[in-house]
Amino acid sequence: MPHFRALDKLDRKLLNHLQKDNQIPTRVLADKLHVSQPTCLRRIRDLREAGVINADISMVDPFALGYGMLAFLEVSLLNQADEFMHEFEARMNKEAEVMQCYFVSGEYDYFVVVHVIDMDAYYQFVRRAISGPGNVRHFHSRFPMKKTKFTTRIAFDEKAAELQVKTGK
Amino acid sequence: MPHFRALDKLDRKLLNHLQKDNQIPTRVLADKLHVSQPTCLRRIRDLREAGVINADISMVDPFALGYGMLAFLEVSLLNQADEFMHEFEARMNKEAEVMQCYFVSGEYDYFVVVHVIDMDAYYQFVRRAISGPGNVRHFHSRFPMKKTKFTTRIAFDEKAAELQVKTGK
DNA sequence: GCTGAAATCACACATTA
DNA sequence: TAATGTGTGATTTCAGC
């Protein structure tokens, strides 16, 4: 049974901390926020169960591993019937090189962010996943020279705090 | 003193797991990979110290919090002297709404991904951070209708594994 | 890779608003 | 009634060997 509740100040403070570091002991976090350790833990558990916290992960630096090449790939499909769009999206979901994929309006249908080792790997990716399988009318590549910012942290301002949040199941 | 070493199979397996879930007890992870728990822990610690693991964080679902609106913002600067580019990049770094920023070649200089609550918030953001401060020649907004994939996980194939990785400081 | 001490997590229960 | 705080046992981390 789905229910709704609003995020209060404590929730927002917790999220702001956990977005930076989720390995901090609940005891330390509790002290910082002037609540007890079990309260801290309970709130975090609830945020996870509610899906506000999607996942708890280690961030790996792609450049530290030789994945120095990034590409923006714009794709327009031949056939835009629902099943074909789903087929394309499913394919992108399976491809490990695809970091992000967006359905966009305008000249192209999809905007895809691809992370690969080098140009050869990118070429192979395009042949295998884009031009190979068919149903692609046109595609266009751009190569960002530098990633100057990348964050998964979202900001919690007052307005957002007042919004109702769908929690739990 | 910086030193180099290559990632072996164990490192890659560890990273593949931790990218999905960094809350798994090292004991469980050790059993899965058929190594001892302290070995597992030491490897992970080394990967963190080496900077291969950037951060350990909770991922927050922006849509669960009412941040339902995404925008692609392309910007070209008036003055492209180094100091002005740094100034723009620094500004994007400070803005909480900016999730990603890339320096690109072509018609525009920067590709910026912005995450906001609604169109009004986006308008305010553009006025404050883009058109307001000056040195922007032209900008153009696109609004992706759906994010069909977003991951921070990078793939570890054999080729990548053989690459030398800069570790330590 | 094994063992053990220290720390953390996570539960039951009393308390408060 | 629902959420917080206190106290306690089970797990986990992490150092020494």
Residues B84 and B76: their CA atoms lie apart, in Å, by 12
Query: Band of the pLDDT at A164, cuts 50, 70, 90?
Result: very low
How distant is the alpha carbon of residue B77 from its chain centre? 24
Q: Looking at the predicted structure, is the pLDDT value of residue A98 above 70? A: yes
A73-85 residue pLDDT tens: 999 999 999 999 9
pLDDT at position A155: 78
pLDDT at position A104: 96
CA of A37 to C1' of D7 (A): 12
The count of C-alpha atoms lying within 13 angstroms of the C-alpha of B65, restricted to the half-sphere facing its C-beta, is 27
Contact A99 B143 (CB under 8 A): no
pLDDT at position A157: 59
For A152, which of B117, B148, B152 is closest by C-beta distance?
B152
For chain A, the 3-state helix, strand and coil shares in percent, each to the nearest 5, are 40, 30, 30
Mean per-residue pLDDT over chain B, rounded: 88
A157 vs B40, residue with greater confidence: B40
pLDDT at position A156: 73
Q: Looking at the predicted structure, is the pLDDT value of residue A168 above 50? A: no
- Strand D nucleotides with an atom less than 7 Å from a protein beta carbon: 3-7, 11-16
Q: Looking at the predicted structure, is the pLDDT value of residue B166 above 50? A: no
Lowest-pLDDT choice from A3-17, A46-60, B29-43: A3-17
For A165, which of B64, B149, B150 is closest by C-beta distance?
B64
Q: Does the CB of A26 fall within 7 Å of any strand C atom?
A: yes
Contact B52 A59 (CB under 8 A): no
Residue among B81, B103, B82 at smallest CA distance from B92: B103
CA of A38 to C1' of D4 (A): 9
Residues A109 and A89: their CA atoms lie apart, in Å, by 11
Residues B152 and A21: their CA atoms lie apart, in Å, by 16
CA of A69 to C1' of C17 (A): 57
Q: What is the pTM of this model?
A: 0.89
Residues A141 and A146: their CA atoms lie apart, in Å, by 15
User: E strands of chain A, at which residues?
Assistant: 3-6, 53-60, 69-77, 98-103, 110-116, 136-142, 146-150, 164-167
